[in-house]
């Protein structure tokens, strides 16, 4: 059972309603995660604007969703795993690509490097080495992409923590966790 109310976009403040209406328009529904976060207008603004900003970044949507799935699986966030698996499929990833991403795997070496780095950030709480960043450069990532990978990980930590801590009910097709500790 969720630990905070799920805000109804039709029965809230004008500011929250406007944000939730934008989210509803983007998804064709209002995902429970955003309804939970809407308990704080500031948190909802922050989360939604971060999704928008990173969505307009240089990291391709497919890779962004693979990163999200890897981080979600590592953090045992069933909500984000389900949501980002579905979004990854919409972004062109195969079921196998999304399954591999759960444990940081990919048949593509460049994607593999990004997922490895993303999971290093999570496991080591950002305490990566110079060589780890150099490995991303060797794989073909530039500085803008490297910073965005870090930003995607940070955003996904935010969403993972919201969904796990607040026990947000999953409203996407369930996906089985693979590697969460």
Give the domain ranges of the chain.
Answer: 14-55, 61-165
Burial 85-112 (b: 16+ CB within 10 A, else e): bebbbebebeeebbbbbbebbbeeeebb
Rounded Cα–Cα distance for residues 87 and 66 (Å): 10
148 phi/psi in degrees, rounded to 5: -70, -35
Residue 180 pLDDT > 70, yes or no? no
Angstrom CA distances, 144 to 3, 36, 120, 148, 181, stand at 37, 32, 19, 6, 31
CATH assignment, 61-165:
1.20.1290.10
Helix 41-55 with 143-165: angle, nearest 10 deg? 150
- pLDDT tens digits along 25-81: 999 999 999 999 999 999 999 999 999 999 999 999 999 999 999 999 999 999 999
| Contact in structure between 82 and 97 (CB atoms under 8 Å) | no
Residue 179 pLDDT > 90, yes or no? no
- DSSP state letters, 1-49: --SS----TTSS-HHHHHHHHHHHHHHSS--HHHHHHTTSHHHHHHHHH
What does the pLDDT read at residue 1? 79
pTM score above 0.85? yes
- pLDDT tens digits along 79-137: 999 999 999 999 999 999 999 999 999 999 999 999 999 999 999 999 999 999 999 99
């Amino acid at each position: 059972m969720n630990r905070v109310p799920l805000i109804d976009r039709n029965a809230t403040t004008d500011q929250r309603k406007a944000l939730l209406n934008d989210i509803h328009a983007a998804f064709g529904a209002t995902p429970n995660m955003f309804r939970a976060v809407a308990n704080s207008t500031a948190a909802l603004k922050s989360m939604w604007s971060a999704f928008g900003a990173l969505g307009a970044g240089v990291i391709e949507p497919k890779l962004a969703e693979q990163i999200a799935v890897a981080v979600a699986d590592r953090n045992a966030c069933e909500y984000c795993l389900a949501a980002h698996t579905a979004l990854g499929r919409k972004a062109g990833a195969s079921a196998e690509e999304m399954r591999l991403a759960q444990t940081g795997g990919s048949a593509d070496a460049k994607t593999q490097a990004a997922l490895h780095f993303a999971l290093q950030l999570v496991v080591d709480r950002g305490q990566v080495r110079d060589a780890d960043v150099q490995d991303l450069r060797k794989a073909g990532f530039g500085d803008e992409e490297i910073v965005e990978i870090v930003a995607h990980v940070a955003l996904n930590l935010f969403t993972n923590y919201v969904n796990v801590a607040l026990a947000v009910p999953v409203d996407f097709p369930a996906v089985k966790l693979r590697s969460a500790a």
